[in-house]
Structure formats: structure tokens, C-alpha cells
Amino acid sequence: MIKEKTEVAIIGAGPAGYVAALRGAQFRKKVILIEEDKVGGTCTNYGCIPTKYLLHETQILKEAKENSRLKGSESLRLDWFEVQKTRQTIVDRLVKGIEFLLTKNGVKLIKGRARLIDQRHIEIVGDQEERVIEAERIILATGSRSADLPFLKADGAKIITSREALEMATLPASLIIIGAGAIGLELGSIFARAGTKVTILEILERPLPGTDRQLAERLGRLLRLQGIDIQTEMKVERAEIFQDKVRLSGTCLKTDKPFQIEAEKVLLAAGRRPNSEIVREIDSSLCDFSGFVKVNEYFETAWPGVYAIGDLIGGKLLAHKAMHEGLLAIENAFGGSHSLESRMIPMAVFTDPELASVGLTEDEAEEMGIRVKVGLFPLKASGRALAIGKSEGLVKILADEKNNLVGAHILSPAASEMIGEIALALRLRLKVEEIGRTIHVHPTLSEALSEASLKAINQALHILND
């Protein structure tokens, strides 16, 4: 058995863990990073990256097919085998890139399965000789996985998770997606564009619960126009699996009537659960009732010196949240005291148009007793949006009574790129005038950020004020 000492051991080399490791190494700390699968985690290998790749490929097909000025697009089709090969090439390249960064920064990467012995010791089981690591600090970053339903477990064939969906060698003729969250809408978009008949069943009353109501509902309508059958208030209660199809039955909560629907495959996208077994098998009191590891505002668990970050601790299950927590936790592990306000974390859904958001929604502000001024700018008043034939979106900027920016919600192409400006403004606690007065290039979609900010204070130019 190999015994090894380190200043910090990090379990899990997804976005949270590998970023913590890189920063730790930049601080000249001795860092061991343990990963049982591939570095990059779900995001790089089975999540964000392959999703964005497939969204991009299918978007090209969609744009070409729906453009009436472009002739000869009837026979266009994606060679799905080639698409999947390219997906793997891109993923492999990114994984190699992360491995390169880890090596060059001096992080020691150990492949194997980690088990916590106590608050300072980790046992690693792998192909190689057994190891015990003694670490001054431990950071847990083991991520999450798709949640099964009580009556419906993923089998990788007929009942799949996002991971299998992204790697499918052939396209199914029909697909039911359970859950109209970000993953459901993105994967639904991919398969619908590629030609699969997609139905999304959502138990709540609208897609993207928790995001801006108006924008989410509009996005739902736009996706329906793109051929995705999004059905809300649909409670799935039973599944029958046949040779060639799956049949789901349940109750429509709107009408209280039963429904039955069949498809070749069913994709589970109704939430994720934490990979917290590593903690629970020795002390389940470290986790909350959903299994997420509990941490204080500095990402430290109930065990001093043991930190947890990323999907494992819940909140917004987003790669950039995980990365940022990685930075903060490693700094905190060595004397820092950084915390992260949840409302500073932007989010984006990479549909067409994209939906991106940061700060409070109107509903959240109301719950907190904050009266907000709403600056709404419709993209039909944007020159760029009209020029690119994408004028269905909306940009909404929220200000409090003193005109301080409190949130932004963007339904627009490139929303995921534009939200950075608002995240910066929110972090700096700016007034909306500051965005309004900043010169944005004409003609761009980002001008709408300016206009919506000015609209909140009745100074918009390209739409009427109140």
C-alpha cells in the first residue's frame, strides 16, 4: 500500500474540482486530484460541451432549412455517425487540454475511486496498488447524476439520461423527455432539429420553472413553433416498456384527466441527485434531506478542513457556479473567507433563442418585498434582430426604486454571451443608467441591454416610454 501526504486532496475532477486544483497549484500548494472517470467531469464529457456541440450542428441544419431564400435545402441531413465522431473528438481534445493544464501546473492526478476514511484520510481503489492519502485539507467535488423516477429507472437503452442521449449512435423516431428544465429543452431542441418527434412532459405549469415567467412562457411558445410538443402540468405515474416502445401514463393536472403517450425512447431530465455516497457512507448527517452535502458560507462542511463544492452541495447545478466555488473553496482552505451570493450566478439555456438570466426575477423580488421597475425591450425594435430574422425575443432589466440593477432576463440569440455584462454590473452594484449610458456597437443585440435599462427609468430611445 502506498501512503502519501499532501496539502490538499480534491475528489472529483469536474469543473469544480479541476479548477480548485489548478488554483491550488498556482498558490504553490501540493495538490492531489482524484478522479475515477475522465477529467472534465459530466460537463466536459457528458454534459455542457457535447450538448453545445450538438446544438450548434443541428442549428446549422435548422437555419438552412427554415430560410426561404436558401434554395436546395430539402435534401439536407446530418450524418449522425460523423456528428458523433466529431463530438468525441471535441470532448477528447478538451479532456486532453485539462490534463495538460493539470500536469503543467504541477497537480498530481490519480485515477481511481476515492473513499473517505476520516477527515484527513482518503483511500483510493483503482487498477493500481492501493493508496492512502493523508491531506491537510480535503475538497469534495463529486458532482451529480440524473435522477431516476420511482417507477422509471434509466436502463441506457429505452430509458435514458442526458448522457446516453448525447451519445446515441442513431436518432430515435420519437422521444419523450420528462422535464422541461434547461436540459430537457436543450436536448429536445437537438433531437427535434435532427428530425426526431419530441414530446416534453413537465409537471409544473411552465417550462424552466424558477426563471422569468414571461420569457419562459414565450420561449415555450417559440419551441412549440419549432415542432417540440411541450406539455405542461403533466404528471407521469406509470411506465410500460415494450420491445419497440415505451408507454407513459399519468394525469394531466390541468384537466385532471388521464393521459397516455408512447415513444421509442424516454429521456429522464427531471432533476439531478448528488453523488454524495462518499460522505453518506460514513456520516449522513453531513447531508441535507435531498442528499446534498451541507456547507457553511465558506464551503466548509461540518468537518473542519473538509470542503464541498459544485453540484454536490446543490443550489444552481451549473458548471460555472462549480468552477467559481472551486476558486473560492481553495482560497478559503488556506485562510480566505470568500462566499458566493447565489443571485450573482448567471444561467443560460442554449435554445434558439437563448434564455439567459442573472439576479432576481420579478417573482423573487416581489417575495422579498422589493418593488421593481421593469424595463422591457422587445427585439422586434432591434435592427440587428430584424436583420438576422430573430426578433421574437425580449430583454428585461429590473431596477429597484433607487434605480439599482437587481436582475436581467434575456431571451435572444447570444443571450449567454450578453449576460456577462449584466453579471459584471450586478456584482458592482451599479445603477441601470450605467448600462444605459454605455455605448454599445450598432447594430447589435446588446444595444437592447442599454435600451431595456433606459426603459426602466423611462429614457428609452427605440421604444416608447410610459
Nearest residue (CB) to its own copies, 41 versus 220: 41
Buried b (16+ CB within 10 A) or exposed e, 169-199: eeebebbbbbbbbbbbbbbbbbbbbbbbbbb
Q: How far is the CB of 171 from its own copies (least distance, A)?
A: 13
CB 126 within 8 A of CB 112: yes
Q: Is 442 a catalytic residue?
A: yes
Dihedral sign of CA atoms 263, 264, 269, 273 in order: positive
Helix residue ranges, H only, 334-414: 362-367, 383-387
Nearest residue (CB) to its own copies, 57 versus 300: 57
Q: How far is the CB of 281 from its own copies (least distance, A)?
A: 30
Task: Say how far residue 414 (Cα) sits from the centre of its chain.
Answer: 16
How are beta strands 108-111 and 121-125 bridged, if at all? unpaired
Q: How far is the CB of 15 from its own copies (least distance, A)?
A: 7
Nearest residue (CB) to its own copies, 22 versus 239: 22
Nearest residue (CB) to its own copies, 78 versus 252: 78
CA max distance for the chain:
74
| Nearest CA among 193, 187, 180 for reference residue 65 | 193
Distance (Å, rounded) from C-alpha 17 to C-alpha 299? 13
3-class SS at 118? coil
Distance (Å, rounded) from C-alpha 275 to C-alpha 42? 12
Distance (Å, rounded) from C-alpha 194 to C-alpha 181? 20
How are beta strands 246-252 and 234-241 bridged, if at all? antiparallel
Q: How far is the CB of 237 from its own copies (least distance, A)?
A: 35
Q: Which of 121, 440, 442, 462 is catalytic?
A: 442
Q: How far is the CB of 85 from its own copies (least distance, A)?
A: 9
Distance (Å, rounded) from C-alpha 451 to C-alpha 378? 10
Buried b (16+ CB within 10 A) or exposed e, 33-51: bbbbebbbbbbbbbbbbbb
Q: How far is the CB of 104 from its own copies (least distance, A)?
A: 6
Nearest residue (CB) to its own copies, 58 versus 142: 58
Give catalytic residues, as residue numbers: 442
